[in-house]
Amino acid sequence: MRKFKIETWGCQMNEYDSQKMAGILKSYGFEETQNDEEAEIFILNTCSGREKAAHKIFTRVGVIRKNLGKDKIVGITGCVASHEAEQLFKKIPKLNFVLGTRSVHLIAKAVKTALEGKRFCDTSDHPESIEISPDLVDRQKKVKAYVSIIEGCDNFCTYCVVPYTRGRERSRPVEDIVEEIKVAVNKYGIKEVELLGQNVNSYNYNGKTFKDVLIEVDKIKELKRIRFLTSHPKDFNEELVKVIASSERICKYIHLPMQSGSNKILKLMGRKYTREEYLEKIDMLRSYIPDAVISSDFIVAFPGEEEEDFLLTMDAIQKVQYDNIFSFKYSPRPKTAALRLKENVVSKKIADKRLIILQKYQEKVQEIKHKNMEGKVYEVLVESVSKRNKTRLTGRTEGNHVVNFEAGRGEDLIGKFVKVKITSSTFTSLKGILV
């Protein structure tokens, strides 16, 4: 049997696409491996969100070619593929195939063509790529099921490459979403689902909105946890929060990227909300769900960001007291509108300094928040066993906190819910014991 290896970079949507491609290839008789030597076909499912991520791909192809032999088949899929298409063959002459985000359903065709010694490239926008049979998504050994509900993005935030790599917004019918989750539940025993979309709040199919999706998914009784990612603050509303608050199974964890705390920068970013509106939404959320776990993304050093703008970002962070922050230095991306801004570019030195200030502050916040969790008991869904020590397990709380704990038993607990008492913590991690 011919063996393939998929290496996934980037976001959950990429992880989900990788599972689709693995399922399709297996249905054609290919076998998956994690072993570099064994694999005949390498699929690099790539991310172009920030420049660094895009660069890593080129290095990786080089390493495969150099260390593993000339006869390996190498294909690039995902956002870098969508973005660069045929040009990738010029940059990487020995590349075998290129498949865009809206062509993932063609993976078997791409691999077969490559095995016949021909190149294959398809980066066009196939509407059917979003709808492959739910049976084909490979959820083996997975504890949580990613299920996309809307793909693409129409927001065109000025820094973001996603509208160019994942195309226009397209929502899936609610029935298809429910069907896919039911297959994951019945075939793989999955108890947690994460609904995916670049902006889940703009879900719209035949008049149904995101809240309707949540209500329908909440009816699948075998599920214990329902999560979703990502919410755009402009569309995050009270109606939705009420649905979350009233459900036993929708996790009280919200990722609500603010990006900047300065109205001037938010405007330049094309985010379509003000800092005041954002902070009001946080208050509204906490009025219904006082202990909601909230995380955010921030970009520092966007063009035109002055010291006072950065201080406004820090002020917002201090006001909200986030449970987690993903922070980035602005990275110019091809095709995006921010490239044409006339504003001053922020020097690397200042950008580095601002990122460190933000991260150091957040470390302190998280240290305190984690300390407050010590001594308390949390329900944890077990995800994996430590490679070095088979009695050490890792899982997540409802609030998406990663917990490491000693259990005395190993693999048979994966996929199960257990109660764990937190015994110690740092700003990045929580340790506990099974109770």
Does the footprint of ligand SF4 cover residue 299 (CB under 6 A)? no
Selection from 23, 22, 52, 24 nearest residue 34 by Cα: 22
Stretch that binds ligand 5AD, among 145-153, 285-293, 329-337, 386-394 (CB under 6 A): 329-337
> What does 245-292 look like in DSSP terms, one character per residue?
HH-SSB-SEEE---B-S-HHHHHHHT----HHHHHHHHHHHHHH-TT-
Does the footprint of ligand 5AD cover residue 288 (CB under 6 A)? no
Q: Lay out the site mask for ligand SF4 across 160-199 (x = CB under 6 A, - = otherwise).
A: x-xx----------------------------------xx
Round to whole Å and give the CA distance between 252 and 139. 25
Do β-strands 3-8 and 41-46 pair in parallel, antiparallel, or remain unpaired? parallel
Q: Which amino acid makes up residue 184? A: A
Helix (H) or strand (E) holding 137: none
Stretch that binds ligand SF4, among 116-124, 154-162, 324-332, 377-385 (CB under 6 A): 154-162
Nearer to ligand SF4, 163 or 415 (CB): 163
Stretch that binds ligand 5AD, among 82-90, 125-133, 173-181, 330-338 (CB under 6 A): 330-338
Closest CB to ligand 5AD belongs to which residue? 297
Selection from 100, 142, 114 nearest residue 14 by Cα: 100
Give the count of beta carbons closer than 10 Å to the beta carbon of residue 369.
18
Instruction: In angstroms, give the least distance from the CB of 52 to ligand 5AD.
Output: 10
Burial class (CB in 10 A: 0-12, 13-18, 19+), 134: buried
> Which residue from 331, 359, 394, 404 is in contact with ligand 5AD, where contact means CB under 6 A?
331
Instruction: In angstroms, give the least distance from the CB of 323 to ligand 5AD.
Output: 16
Q: Lay out the site mask for ligand SF4 across 216-235 (x = CB under 6 A, - = otherwise).
A: ----------------x---
User: Would you call 157 helix, strand, or coil by DSSP?
Assistant: coil
CB 8 within 8 A of CB 15: yes
Does the footprint of ligand SF4 cover residue 47 (CB under 6 A)? no
Which residues on adjacent β-strands are paired with residue 121?
A: 98
> Which residue from 217, 299, 325, 430 is in contact with ligand 5AD, where contact means CB under 6 A?
299
Total of chain residues touching ligand 5AD, rule CB under 6 A: 12
Q: Among residue numbers 144 through 183, which ones bind ligand 5AD (CB under 6 A)? A: 159-160
Nearer to ligand SF4, 96 or 198 (CB): 198
Residues near 237 by beta carbon (within 8 Å), at least 6 away in sequence: 201
Q: Which does 432 bind (CB under 5 to 8 A by kind): ligand SF4, ligand 5AD, none?
A: none
Give the count of beta carbons closer than 10 Å to the beta carbon of residue 34.
9
Does the footprint of ligand SF4 cover residue 28 (CB under 6 A)? no
Nearer to ligand SF4, 92 or 153 (CB): 153
Biggest alpha carbon–alpha carbon distance for the chain:
61
Q: Kindly state the DSSP code that residue 400 receives in the 8-state scheme.
A: -
Where does this chain bind ligand 5AD (CB under 6 A)?
49-50, 159-160, 257, 259, 297, 299, 328, 330-331, 333
